[in-house]
Every structure is written in structure tokens, then in C-alpha cells.
Structure 1
């Protein structure tokens, strides 16, 4: 399915697409990290991740609990002993455009409270396209080697790592504990020679050097690994008993002095201009290196600043991967089709004569909306020099960072003589209802609502999606079947949990339908029963309340802890009045639009009745608090107000949440602690009126041990 551009997505459409992206990326991770047999190219994978990140950035409230941005790699494969990383092996955030590098620098400066003129240096090095490896040395001897796995747990490949010439067995002058991290790869010449030997012996050949390196390192027989020409570049470290240096560059030099190979193209850069200049230099040299790289990695050089910046859930704040651009291709646009999304949006799709773009065969592309087809933007200004898009056109397709290919240009010299301007439909192709375009909206939408099968089915698909109830055996295909089934019809979530009972009362049993039997029907009913007990955050997300995505469902669950407390608060809350409304709106991350949507859902008669029918079948598990459970602020609600002088607000919030506190944006009776800096105004005053404990910044740092 092809969706519209991020800027045109509604919340419901974003939910659906994030669910689809999570499934696609999980499958790609499994193929790439566990099977060493990727099903899509690196450019395609990057496009998936970037599309996911763009949607999450535009709709932060919709972020899924199983979001690919919260996950690194894939679980370790069977056959190897498991190794739990003492310090997680994280992935890197990606950038594709030059202005994203300037924003990376600006974001770091904002976080650290540094002015635009303050010195801030970065290292820039090639991003090797290989397999991440962690090497643990104890008292100067290699004790353990492990793959990244899912970031927390990897595979023990110590015997295999010992066969790689670039990996020292012993070190002189190293810290007692030293975990070196780097990339295992295979040079182009070695890869070609290996494939020639494999073909001559009648064995499997490899698709590319990265697959060959990964497959060679993860052999159960180390003799096979030893016969493969693997190499290793060190780029960082994990656990240390003593610091290596004070800067990233000096630490890399220290690793080189210990005997590790470091990329000779690593440079120190003073700001974004020098970073981009070195990126251009590496890109020009890319074809002559003799091994694969897919971008350039930038890291803050000062290790003390790296420590202050810390980490997000899966990426460090102090590093960024600047990926190389994807490719362009020309092909024939054979047909324009319309797809109807979850909220009724009519999305045009280009059906293309298959063409390879960036190593991936493309047969579909998004056409965004009717304005884009007509050759104009949302404001009526011309795009593509005003050239419209017609069936039969020769079009340029690109994949620059988006999961869905786009049509970039049209070659009018190859336009068929009888090609007519495309007439965008004004009625829904699914239900025939009028499709209208409201003022200020770039999308035309079906007005059919729940009578439109396309919209109704998508809502049920959301309920059973991976981040929601994730019922095994009940996916998109099965939902469509049950929705249209005359005897076992599923029209709302509660119907799923009465399915087995209704099947028992029905003469036309599920097991008698095409594709079903006794075992598959029993498995489905068992899977449904297994979801009668559900975590609170999954239930909140599954309800499909507008503006409430996985991240905020998790936030709400951790704030209210139990379904009873959440349900009572949403039922009692009244917009702009009462403590329940004040508390809801004060949750950091909950805005007015989301708060109103929550209250409306629980107080609108038909929707509330549907929720009640569903919950009657469920046992809802309370949420578990996050962060340190034994810190002095664990479980407390903290409000920061005024100017913080020793850290930025972002640092303070991150530190409080890591200690298990809940950070709120407003003061209420449920606030436990207020941290007030200079200039604190109404919040400090209200805290005093309510008798809430108030600390200055120094007292806060003393309390949490942050000095």
C-alpha cells in the first residue's frame, strides 16, 4: 500500500503506517542481522527507518511501544551462546541532507546551553558497511567477542574473532578492562575471490561483501571463519576500567597505539562546514577505498560533553550518521490508482513499469495528492515547472530517504499523444460516498465514515496491530475476512473476544472455511484468549483514540498505573475545569488536543459503550514504573520552573526521568516537588499556596547526586 507524504497524513493514517513500517523493519532486521540474507537493500532499509522517524517526529504522540526507533538490530540467532552487553550497543541516528548536519550541531548546542560561537569540535569518519563486533579484553588478553544482536544481547563469537588478523590476541598498556567496538568487513577483492571459490566448489555465493562478512563471522565452525578474509576497524569502546583519553580522537589514537586498525580517513572538524567538506571528500573517494561504506559518522570530540549529552533509548545524542544519497531512475507510469486510508483520505498511487532504484525493484510510487499530480503545491505555486503527471508518462523515480518511492519529474518529449490530464475522483472508489476537500486541507476525503468498508476495516486492523493486541493469527487478512463474514462478523473489538462463543453457536464453523481447519481455528481462539490479559499501555493504544500513539499510551499508563485509575480520571475530567483535567493537562507530553480527545472518547456515548463492552472481556495489567526504583525521586511528580543555570531543561528532565520521576509541565495537588530557578513565577507561587516542597537547583543536584 502506498501512502501520502508525511505532511498530509492524518493521525489515523499515521497510526496505520507506523504499524506497517514496524512489521517491515522487523522482518528486514531478522533477515539482515540473524539470517545474513537481507531481503531489501541498505538504501531501502534506510528509507524505511527514515519514513518511520519522519512520521514519529510529526506525530510524537503516535510513537509505538515496539517502534523501530526504540530497537537496535535483532535478537541473537540460535546456535551461539548469548552475551549480555554490560553497556548497550546502540545504533546511530541518520541524516541525509546538509541542513540536517547544521541542525545536529544546533541541537547539541541547545542541549548543552552553548552559544553559536562557542568552540565545539567533531570527529568525522567513514561508516563501514559491515557487522558490529564487541571485543572484551581483561588484563590485556582477549576474553570475549560478541555481535551486537539486539543491542542488549548478542552472540558469543569469540573463537571466530580470534581467527581475524586485525584483532589482537593480547594488548600491552591497556586498561585492566577494555571493551573495543568496531566493524568486521570484507574488502572487495577478497569478496570476489571468495565468491569465485564458492562457485567453483558448488557452494552458495554471497550477494555482497557485508553478507559475506556477517555469514563468515557467524559460522559455528571457526575453521570456516579462519578461511575467510575478514578485516576489522575499531571505532569506539564500551566498558572501561580507566578512561582512554579526554577526546574521541585521542582515544582512537590510543586504540591505534594498542594495535587496532583505525580508519585513516578520520578527521577532526570545527563545525558543520568542515564536517560537510570532509563528507564530500569521503564520498568522492568512496569508489577507490576497496571496501564498502554507506556514509560518514560524526561524533562530538570532547568525551566530557558526550557524557553530558548521554543517550536516547537507542541512539547517542552526540553522534550522527550522514548517509549517502539514493539513486534515480526513469520508467513508464502505466496507471494511476486511488487508495482509501483509515480516515478516508484518497491517496493516488503510480503503478510503474518495474525499475531498479538503489538496488531495489520499484513498481509503485506515491503521487501525494491531486495538486501534486496537477503540477502545483498546496499554495497553487508550480512544481516541476508546472508539468502535470498523466498515465503513460515517462517519469523519474527517486528514493531519497522515504520508504515510498516518489515521482520527481516528467519527460514531456516522451508523453503519448493521447495522454489526457488525470481527473481526480470526487467520489470514494470504495463506497461511492462524496469525497470532499475541506478548505486548507491538501487531501480529499471520503465522507462515508463507518459505512465505508476501507475505513472500518483499517480501524480494526489497528486494534490487532503489533503495538496493540498483537493477536497471533489475526492480522490484516483475517480482519478483512471476519469483517465481511456473514455469520462470524467482527465489527468492533469486543466482537473478537466473543468469536469462539459465536462459532460454537454457529452451524457454519470457522474450521469449515477455506484456509481454516480444526487446528488453525483452535490456535486462533487460544491466541485470542491469551490476549484477554493485556498490559495497560497496549490497551490504551489499541483503543485508537485520536492523537494517542504508543509513546503517549505508555506515558499515560505509567502516570495512572491502573485501568481503574485511568478510566476514572478520564470519566471525571471536564475540559478546563477540575483537578482531573488539570492533572491530565499537566503531564509532560500531553497537550490540549490530546487531552480533549481522551476526555471526548470516554464521555461520548457510543464510543464509551464500545470501550466498556471490550473491557468486560479483559484483565488489565498495571503499568510498571521506569527508571531507578530506589532513587530519592522515584515515583514522584516533579516540575521544573524558572531558569536552570547548571544544566539545560532537557538535561534536567532526562536526569529526573532516568531516576524514575515523572516530569510535569504544571503544578497541581498531585505534584510532589518543584525545582525553581531564577525567574520562577506562577508555578512557584502555586506550589507555595499548595504547600508543595520547593528546591533551588543546587538543592536538587544535592538530592539526586548530580553535582
Structure 2
């Protein structure tokens, strides 16, 4: 298998590097998907594939505007191979999201509860079952007769392997007392004993031997000659269903029991678990039994047991919200930490990185590992509790590195017996290594940050790169490389300088852009035209472009939608600066804007130097008013709505999403600007305040009637 090096820090990527890396990852993952799902000849390990997939996702999250149309994040499986007929799945065969740590399992449970509006102590059961390392298969029965079988393919269209599936003993060709239409989904696999015997026969006949049971199962099922499949010892576990004309039962676990009664093999290690601790306990039980099962598994799958709750949770683009795969740990490796280096990011955060002697971990060559922050290096968490048994990390240490699917590897342990005698505790810098400014750590913040702002080269250049990024001003011809060049030569020091480039270095000036190396008259003219065109820009993109901490694209759109114009917005920020009063209360009352983000906003605009820089920029722009998009017949478009109390027909999250989809602004607090309060049982002070202010109040039934959903 080919090994791929992925040791370039994502935080260190500029836009051009990120674009190239996404292209590289798309190519690698497309090849891996085709090799694994279509050709049954993997070119990389599962751990490496998971790592590349997470790296791709992390880069997309940092540079959302660079997400490719063929992004691996939006793909399931691979295009069906030639030589097979094609079958379109009545219901798409989805993939599963992955978690690797116990805390991520608890986070999954918290997410589900929050989405459903359930309390932390309410009973919420899940099924937990081994994740079989085989080939996914969908079986369609009509009137109890198996009429077609299809591989996953790309999730929408699979390969027609009906004749082959009929040769597998575990797959019934007829069912008694089944719904008229029933799609049964499961995994085709091969046991270890059968795999060994098959390879022995292959070797004796001088034929190809298989690398592992998964490859053997996939290759055997996907034979153009069904007689070859018949001679292969394939098995099948059922784990779910697609289209059905009638529900099998009300729960996942009971539905599996029904499938077992119909004649399908159901994994006997499937259990119903009440909450995440029971899920983790069964995960440990399955992991301990992994070596004695007689077939390959690579994790445990958790699913919300109640099918009505599954329906409410629904799906993302490629994964269900109600299910998650908890993968087993990837490979660990020991290597020497050669040096600890500090990188300064756009927000001024000082991020320590371990430079390692290169080592292979899970099929990937690793030379860097994240060290998070000074607490992590010192062997403690943010609350002061010990991690790694309190062992600190020093230059020269031998450290255990793990990936477990993470994009950047982490240090799991330190071998004190191999610590060099002269190794001394690492002293985290108190000043910025880039500009020498004080690096302070605010209360509640895990990172130490440079206070230099625009005088800090690391921050200034990164802020300017962010400013011209695609989701911000997106100026054609002015990318990361040009920003670095102009900053280095003193042509651009702050965003406003971009919009005075032509008057300073255009035609008729002593120094002209067209005469610089790498530039000509046409490229210079094109850049000036692009800069001119970018002066007219939506409010949300301006707010995002400023690079204020905690204000991403979503928050920028939320703020723009709420305030509408730059004039209204900046007046509100000035009014909120004391962090009290009506403007402050309105700001923190915006749904999605908490006190942390609010403080970052008002602090940025209250800094004299930064405010002066922003004012110089805004004077050169034409900022478009934010317009709320909503259906033409929306009864709540443009209205500010507050939800309070307990809603009975939907959760608050569902109500908020529905209101915003109809063009409403959702706020967390009642004020004179509130148009409507939707109050469920238990409404308290908000309902009283609404009455005092004369705000219209509706109960849930009236709210649904207003939306035409009663």
C-alpha cells in the first residue's frame, strides 16, 4: 500500500496551499474510494483513509469557500464499476460519521438530546452493534421474493449483483409474513477460518491470494460469473432497512428482532444501551472480544433506538444525525521530540508544535504533532487536573504519538525512562516570537495571545490574507502570495491600503505596479479593476473580512441580517461598548451571539488604532444593505421573534430553524424591537416583559396556525 505524508500543519497553510492540498486530497480519496469500493484492492489503510478524510474536512472548515464541487466530504462510496447493471436505490445508502474518543460519544449523545430538546437525565436508548468490516449490500423483496440486490455504489446508484447474492446461504430468497415491499440492508463478510481456507485453495491452484477477509468478500460478491461467487464462503449480517411498505416495529432493536424472525442473521452482540456510559461499556466489551469473534470488525455503531426520534433527527447530506460509528484506536508509535516551535496565528494565538523524528503511524509518515497550549505541555488540562499522569513534555523526550483519525497527530504519553539527563522543563514564551510584544493569557482562555495586533507581522499578514479570501473580499489577482509580497515591500500595511494602490502605484506614479517583477501592464490593470469592483460588497462579507475573533461566516451573516446596514451596526457597537444598556442587551440577545463573541466585537471596535483602520477602510467602500431572503408568502419575514417556555410539537431548535427559513430574525431576549413572542408552558419573565411592552404573544398552536401548519 502507498503511504501518504500529511504532516503540513493546517494552521500554516495559506489559501493557495489549501487549494492545492484540497485538490491533492480529492484525487487521493477518489482513488482510494474506487480502489476500496469498486476494485476491492485498497491502496491505503483504514487509519490513513480516515486521517486524510478528516484532514480534508478540517481544511474545508478553515477555508469554506475553497470547498470543491467534487469534495470527498459529500461522497459516499464510489461510482459503480463497468460490467455490472446499475440499480438506483429507492432510499439513498448513507455513510456514517466517525468518532474515536469516549468524550466524542458523550458529545454525540449531548447533540442528539439538544436537537430533540431532551434533558440530560431523560432516558434515551441506543443500539450498539459491531461494525462489520465487509461490503454493504441492499436486498429488495417484493411480495416476499428477492427481486434485486445492489452494492452501495456511490450511495444513490449501486451495482446489480442479484444473481450473486442469491448464492449466499445467509440471504433468504423468499420471506414469509414480510411487508409487501422490504429493502434489507447489511454487510457481506467472510470469516477468518473461511478466508484462510480460501487463500489456501487459491494458492494451491496458482490463483491470486487475497490481502484480507474484506477484500476477499468484496471480490467474491462482485464476480461477473455468479458461479464463482457460489464457490466462495460468503456470509451476511442484516443491520437495517431502506424502503418498506410497512414499519417492522417502533424501535431499531425490535425491528432487528423482526428481521431475525424473517430469517436473516443478526449480530448477537447487538445491545440496547441507556445513555453514553452504557454505550461505552458495551464498546469496551466488544473491543475485548474482537480477537475471538472470528470475523473482522473496525468499531461499534450506535443508533438512536426509537424510530420516531430517528425520523425527527433526520439526515445531513451524507450521514444520519441519529447514528455514529465509534472506530477502534489506530496504531500508536514512539519517536523522539526534537524541538518545540511556536507558531503565531491570525488571532495572535501562540500555538506550540512538536517537531518529531519522522515515524509511521497507521500507515502515515508523521513529523509534527499538535501540543495545543502551555497547559498541555505542562501535563495538565484547562482546569489544572493532570493529563498523562501529570508528565510534562520536554525537547528530547521520547513520546508516544497516535492519530486515531485525527488530522494532526497528538502526543499520548512520555517515556520518562528515556528522558535525556539535560532535558529541562519547557518555558512557554511570554512574548511573541514574531514581534516581541507581550503575549498574555486572558482568564478563561486556553491560549496565550500576542498583543501586537497589526504591528505583529504574523497577525498583520494573516489578517490581510483573510481579508482578501474568497468568502471575504475575494479580489481576483490578489491572493496570499501577492499580499505577502506587497506587505513585505511596504505597499500594503492595512486593508484600506488595498483600495489606494492604484493612486499610489498606478499610471503616472514614479513607481508603478506594471514595472514590478512578475507584473505587466495587463495584470496590473486587471488587478486595479478587480479592486475597484470589490468596493461594492455585502455587509456580511465586510464583517467576516475584518477577521474579528469568534466572528465566522455564519455569525457575520447573522449580524448583518439583524442590523441591516453598516451605519446601524457600528452605532450599535459603539452603544454596546460599555457592555451594558439597551445596545449591549440587544447584541447578546441575538440568537447565535453569546457574550464571548459580543465582547470580541465591541472590544475590536473600541480599540483606537483598530477602529481608525476600520474607519479608513469603510470610507472607501460601498457597503450593501443586508436583505432577508424568505418565501414571498412568508407571514413572518423581517419580524423579530422570541421563543420561550416549553414547546410541545417541536423543539426550540426546530422552531428556530423554521422561523429563520421563513425570513424571521430569532432573538434570545424580549425588547421593544421584538415583534412576536411564542410562549409555551413554563413561560416566565419573558412573557411578563412582552406584556409590559405590548408585544404580541402567541401560544404554540397559534404559531403553527400562523405558519399554516396547525
Q: Give the TM-score normalised by structure 2.
A: 0.73
Cα distance per residue 1:352-393 (max 9 Å; x no partner): 112222332221123344454455666777665665433322
Look up the match of 2:566.
Answer: 567
Task: Please say if 1:545 is aligned against 2:548.
Answer: yes
Q: CA deviation at 1:296?
A: 0.9
Q: Which residue number in structure 1 is paired with residue 298 of structure 2?
A: 294
* Structure 1, 573-582 or 541-550: larger mean CA deviation: 573-582
Q: CA deviation at 1:180?
A: 5.0
Report the counterpart of residue 354 of structure 1 in structure 2.
358
How far has the Cα of 1:547 moved from its partner?
1.9
* Alpha-carbon contact 1:588-1:665 (below 8 Å) kept: yes
Matched, 1:156 2:143: no
| CA root-mean-square deviation | 5.8
TM-fit CA distance, 1:570 = 0.5
Q: Distance in 2 between matches of 1:195 and 1:643?
A: 65
8 A contact 2:183–2:242 mirrored in 1: yes
Q: Secondary structure at the match of 2:351?
A: strand
* Cα distance change of structure 1 residues 357 and 700 upon mapping to structure 2, 3 Å threshold: same
Shift of 1:541: 2.6
The separation in 2 between residues aligned to 1:406 and 1:145, in whole angstroms, is: 40
1:450 aligns with 2:468: no
2: CA distance between counterparts of 1:134 and 1:194?
A: 27
- Find the residue that maps to 1:251 and give its secondary structure: helix
2-structure distance, mates of 1:542, 1:135: 51
> What is the rounded CA distance, in whole Å, between the counterparts of 2:558 and 2:196 in structure 1?
48
Q: Partner of 2:465: helix, strand, or coil?
A: helix
Residue 7 (structure 1) aligns with? none
Looking at structure 2, the residues matched to 192 and 606 of structure 1 have their Cα atoms a distance apart, in angstroms, of 77
Give the 3 Å change call, closer, same or farther, for CA 211–611 of structure 1 in structure 2.
farther
Q: Distance in 2 between matches of 1:698 and 1:558?
A: 27
Q: Which has the larger radius of gyration?
A: 2
SS in 1 for 2:454: helix
Distance in 1 between residues matched to 2:652 and 2:52, nearest whole Å: 32
**8 Å contact kept, 1:90–1:315:** yes
CA contact under 8 A between 2:335 and 2:400: conserved in structure 1?
Answer: yes
Question: Quick one: structure 1 residues 355 and 342, their matched pair in 2 at CA, closer, same or farther if it must change by over 3 Å?
Answer: same
Give the number of aligned pairs. Answer: 675
Contact 2:87 2:158 in 1 (8 A): no
Uncovered stretches (5+) of structure 2, i.e. residues with no partner: 1-5, 36-41
Please give the per-residue CA displacement for 1:125-181, whole angstroms capped at 9, x wherever unaligned. 1223466666777777757958575xxxx5533446765556889877665665555
Aligned counterpart for 1:609 among listed residues 615, 621, 631: 615
- Does residue 245 (structure 1) correspond to residue 249 (structure 2)? The answer is yes
The match for 1:74 is: 75
1: distance between equivalents of 2:482 and 2:226? 44
Distance 2:689 2:593 in 1: 20
CA–CA separation in structure 2 for the residues paired with 1:349 and 1:21: 19
- Indicate the residue corresponding to 1:676 in structure 2: 679
* Aligned twin of 1:331: 335
Match of 1:8 in 2: none
Alpha-carbon distance between aligned partners in 1 of 2:438 and 2:260, rounded to the nearest angstrom: 68
* Counterpart for residue 687 of structure 1: 690
- 2:29 touches 2:49 (CA, 8 Å); kept in 1? no
Is the CA contact 1:494–1:614 (under 8 Å) kept in the aligned structure 2?
Answer: no
CA deviation profile, 1:485-534 (whole Å, cap 9, x unmatched): 567x5853873896899688876659953xx9999999999998998887
How far apart, in 2, do the equivalents of 1:25 and 1:40 lie?
18
Shift of 1:257: 6.0
Deviates more, 1:446-455 or 1:372-381: 372-381
Q: Secondary structure at the match of 1:157?
A: strand
| 8 Å CA contact retained: 2:496, 2:613 | no
Contact 1:667 / 1:686 at 8 angstroms: preserved in 2?
yes
Residue 339 and residue 422 in structure 1: after superposition, are their counterparts in 2 closer, same or farther (change >3 A)?
same
1:247 deviates by: 1.6
In structure 2, the residue matched to 1:235 is 239
**Distance in 1, Cα, partners of 2:449 & 2:104:** 33
Work out the CA distance in 1 between the residues paired with 2:604 and 2:86: 45
- Tell me how far apart the structure 2 counterparts of residues 224 and 253 of structure 1 sit (CA, whole Å): 34
Question: Does structure 1 residue 32 correspond to structure 2 residue 29?
Answer: yes
CA offsets, 1:623-656, max 9 Å, x none?
644xx77676566543222344565544544555
Aligned to 1:667: 670
Go from structure 1 to structure 2 and tell me whether the alpha carbon gap of 1:440 and 1:669 turns closer, same or farther (over 3 Å shift).
closer
Tell me: higher relative CO, structure 1 or 2? Use CA pairs within 8 A at least 6 residues apart. 1
Unaligned stretches of 5+ in structure 1?
Answer: 5-12
SS of residue matched to 2:240? strand
